[in-house]
């Protein structure tokens, strides 16, 4: 009998190695465990070949936008010309905008392709795709390897230095159509680039489960900066999974802003510093509101000499939102003279809100230094009174407190997005959209 | 004019101020003196509009209009300022971020260079702007930062709750200087203090009100302040 994984691969005319990898993963899927930190999702109940299960009207023009989404876009102050992109009105394949984008970056040494095209064209990708998230690791990796569909390949060639951030939001359309889209990013030796993934407004996903995955290779001396903006629509359960490998002297800096968590979100991100002098810093802010549940997992593995890892997470939680922050830095026996620091905290806006931090460090390298601090605080009445005596209403005072609290993370977010992120902070202070 | 009219105030049901009358004109300095626990901070908080301090009867009037029922932030926007006896530390908010927002909310164009200049004038280096609000500041630094805010906001009336308590000689000079400058710009100042020293620093004429047990017991000019400092509050 033909398996679903095989069928998927055949349908798409994939190379043999991809199909057999899918099938191996599929066999393992049933018994594979979920990552322990993340709220399990009944993945077996989703049909990887099925049709979208979310009833969203086809959007042909701005008039077709559902009322609740329209309201949110307006509240966030997203300019209308951005709506086109967010709602997928710009078609990936046909849009001249995208084509010129591709041409432009091709000249500078950036290859942008759909992942399917890429693995057909470049056989050497068999050593890269799905190698950073072995399906045996857990159920999400297994599901992904077996049933991925859609996704992109971004390749910054050797020594290419891209001055402008690469926006990948035009690819949301593709992601929105898939339940398990896969991104593969390779920053080749000495390359430098900044990626902006996602946008501040929620994309109109067509599946009620979204299990995207990203693999990132930062090769020798390459520098990659990632800005990830996520605002999941309220009907979605998401389990995004990221794994990054950094080689000698490479650096990765990630700023994540989780603006909306849908029904439930379980973000899993792992960075391995493989080469001497490699560096990683991950900064995240998350807003967790009424009925939302977020598990945010960030792990850095120091696996070579003189490596540096920093994790900083900040959660703003209101109503009866639940936020769990799991952070972990581990130094292996090869990580001599390495350093790791975790700083995670939560700001609770009202008594029902919950935030739990699980910072952990583990070292088997005596010359390494791993430290962590964690803090959960409430908005203090005394602080509010002080601010109000300076002319701020209570709402203004709360949103200023949030703004100040997230500032150490927002300073990593480009200006053009910052306004919307701050607008969301204000909306959270006010009690929602 | 800023007025307290026959003010009676309670905290959690207990009467703390009785029949307070006060009239402050632009550019005037009014000094409030009195023993600990006599109600000085209560008066300051009440004039500013802290919700915990309940006006049972009487009125607070700014330029002919009652502000008695206005929330604190509206009074602030109308030009009433208060420097706190114990300014709160806000551990997760940068001083500069705070000031920029405060200035914006008060309809002023935020200008970082100007803020830096005012801080320097108060003997505070720019580094303080990058620190969290009052966090880890010494007593004197907190008070100087409060008065820097007064200079930035140029309020119509400023209520200063013991800006000179627990500060060193240098801080005293900066604080006295800020008060003089505000007075000459036309701010009416209500200064709560224990010491005549700050008054010498300001070097201007002023009115003195002695408060005890929640009531104003005596009023007069500089000679009264001198007498209090020499003899204490005993009748
Ligand atoms: N927030 C408060 N809650 C309860 N009692 C208070 C509060 N603030 C002041 N009091 C009481 O009110 C009286 C006056 O206090 P206060 O105005 O602080 O005096 P002063 O500033 O003159 O030293 C004191 O008995 C004090 O204990
Ligand atoms: Mg007092």
What digits encode the pLDDT tens for the residues A374-390? 888 888 899 999 999 99
> For residue B194, which of B71, B60, B53, B33 has the smallest C-alpha distance?
B33
Mutate-to-test residue for ligand 1 from B7, B8, B12, B16, highest number of ligand atoms within 8 A of CB: B16
The minimum CA-CA distance between B200 and chain A, rounded to whole Å, is 29
Please work out whether the CB of residue B149 comes within 6 Å of at least one atom of ligand 1.
Answer: no
The domain ranges of chain A are 4-274, 381-433
Range of the domain at B14: 2-231
* Contact flag B76-A393 (C-beta cutoff 8 Å): no
Strands A110-114 and A151-156, by their bridges, are: antiparallel
The CB-side HSE value for A403 (13 A sphere, CA atoms) comes to: 22
Apex B175 CA angle, B89 and B141, nearest 5: 30
Average pLDDT score, chain A: 86
Enumerate the residues of chain A whose CB falls inside 8 A of the CB of residue B107: none
Calpha distance A387→B107 (Å, rounded): 16
Minimum mean pLDDT among A89-103, A345-359, B95-109, B155-169: which range?
A89-103
Nearest CA to ligand 1 atom 24: B37
Per-residue DSSP letter, A367? T
Per-residue model confidence (pLDDT) at position A81: 65
Average pLDDT score, chain B: 94
Please work out whether the CB of residue B193 comes within 6 Å of at least one atom of ligand 1.
Answer: no
Enumerate the residues of chain A whose CB falls inside 8 A of the CB of residue B73: 388-394, 396
How many domains does chain B fold into? Answer: 1
Per-residue model confidence (pLDDT) at position A291: 84
pLDDT, tens only, A294-348: 999 999 999 999 999 999 999 999 988 999 999 999 999 999 999 999 999 999 9
Calpha distance A217→A272 (Å, rounded): 10
pLDDT, tens only, B133-162: 999 999 999 999 999 999 999 999 999 999
Who among B90, B105, B149 is closest to A396 (CB)?
B105
* Contact flag B149-A390 (C-beta cutoff 8 Å): yes
Residues B127, B61 contacting (CB under 8 angstroms): no
Q: Nearest chain A Cα to B77, which residue?
A: A391
Task: Assess B76–A contact: CB distance below 8 Å, yes or no.
Answer: yes
**% of chain B exceeding 90 in pLDDT:** 85
Enumerate the residues of chain B whose CB falls inside 8 A of the CB of residue A389: 48, 50, 72-73, 76, 82, 84
Enumerate the residues of chain B whose CB falls inside 8 A of the CB of residue A401: 90, 92-93
**pTM score, two decimals?**
0.85
Please work out whether the CB of residue B13 comes within 6 Å of at least one atom of ligand 1.
Answer: no
pLDDT, tens only, A143-169: 999 999 888 889 999 999 987 777 665
Residues A185, A112 contacting (CB under 8 angstroms): no
């Amino acid at each position: 009998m033909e398996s679903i994984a095989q069928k998927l691969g055949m349908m798409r005319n994939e190379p043999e190695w991809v199909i057999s990898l899918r099938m191996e993963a599929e066999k393992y899927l049933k018994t594979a465990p979920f990552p322990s930190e993340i709220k399990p999702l009944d993945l077996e109940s989703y049909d990887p070949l099925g049709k979208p299960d979310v009833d969203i009207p086809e959007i042909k023009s701005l008039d077709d936008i559902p009322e609740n989404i329209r309201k949110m876009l307006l509240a966030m102050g997203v300019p209308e010309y951005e709506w086109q992109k967010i709602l997928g009105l710009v078609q990936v394949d046909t849009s001249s905008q995208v084509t010129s984008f591709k041409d432009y970056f091709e000249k500078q040494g950036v290859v942008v392709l759909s992942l399917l095209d890429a693995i057909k064209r470049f056989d050497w990708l068999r050593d890269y795709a799905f190698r950073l998230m072995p399906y045996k690791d857990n159920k999400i990796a297994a599901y992904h390897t077996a049933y991925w569909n859609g996704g992109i390949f971004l390749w910054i060639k050797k020594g290419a230095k891209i001055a402008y951030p690469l926006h990948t939001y035009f690819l949301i359309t593709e992601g929105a159509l898939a339940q398990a889209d896969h991104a593969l990013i390779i920053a080749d030796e000495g390359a430098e680039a900044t990626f902006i993934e996602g946008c501040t407004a929620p994309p109109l996903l067509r599946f009620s489960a979204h299990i995207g995955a990203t693999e990132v290779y930062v090769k020798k001396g390459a520098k990659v900066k990632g800005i990830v903006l996520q605002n999941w629509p309220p009907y979605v359960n998401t389990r995004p999974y990221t794994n990054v490998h950094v080689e000698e002297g490479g650096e990765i800096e990630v700023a994540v802003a989780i603006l909306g968590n849908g029904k439930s979100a379980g973000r899993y991100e792992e960075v391995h510093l493989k080469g001497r002098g490699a560096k990683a810093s991950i900064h995240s802010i998350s807003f967790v509101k009424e009925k939302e549940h977020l598990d945010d997992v960030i792990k850095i593995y120091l696996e070579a000499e003189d490596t540096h890892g920093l994790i900083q997470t900040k959660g703003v939680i209101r109503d009866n939102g639940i936020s769990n922050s799991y952070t972990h830095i581990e130094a292996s026996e090869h990580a001599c003279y390495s350093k790791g620091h975790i700083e995670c905290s939560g700001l609770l806006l009202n008594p029902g809100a919950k935030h739990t931090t699980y910072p952990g460090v583990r070292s088997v390298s005596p010359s390494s230094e791993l430290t962590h601090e964690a803090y959960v605080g409430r908005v203090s009445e005394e602080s509010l009174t002080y601010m109000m005596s300076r002319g701020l209403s209570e709402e203004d005072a709360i949103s200023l407190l949030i703004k100040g609290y997230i500032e150490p993370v927002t300073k990593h977010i480009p200006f053009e997005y910052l306004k919307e992120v701050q607008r969301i902070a204000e909306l959270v202070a006010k009690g929602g959209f | 004019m800023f007025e307290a009219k026959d003010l009676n105030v309670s905290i959690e049901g207990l009467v703390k101020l009785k029949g307070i009358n006060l009239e402050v004109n632009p550019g005037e300095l009014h000094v409030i003196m009195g023993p600990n626990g006599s109600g000085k901070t209560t008066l300051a908080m009440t004039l500013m509009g802290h919700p915990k301090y309940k006006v049972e009867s009487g009125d607070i009037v700014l330029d002919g209009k009652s502000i008695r029922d206005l929330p604190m932030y509206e009074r602030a926007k109308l030009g009433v300022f208060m420097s706190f006896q114990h300014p709160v530390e806000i551990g997760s908010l940068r001083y500069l971020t705070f000031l920029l927002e405060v200035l914006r909310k008060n309809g002023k164009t935020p200008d970082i260079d100007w803020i830096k200049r005012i801080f320097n004038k108060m003997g505070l280096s720019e580094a303080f702007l990058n620190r969290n609000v009052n966090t880890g500041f010494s007593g004197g630094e907190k008070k100087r930062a409060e008065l820097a805010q007064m200079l930035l906001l140029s309020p119509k009336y400023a209520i200063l709750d013991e800006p000179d308590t627990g500060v060193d000689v240098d801080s005293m000079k900066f604080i006295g200087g800020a008060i003089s400058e505000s007075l000459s710009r036309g701010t009416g100042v209500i200064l709560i203090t224990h010491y005549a020293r700050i008054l010498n620093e300001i070097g201007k004429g002023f009115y003195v009100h002695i408060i005890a047990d929640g009531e104003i017991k005596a009023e007069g000019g500089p000679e009264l302040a001198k007498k209090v400092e020499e003899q204490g509050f005993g009748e």
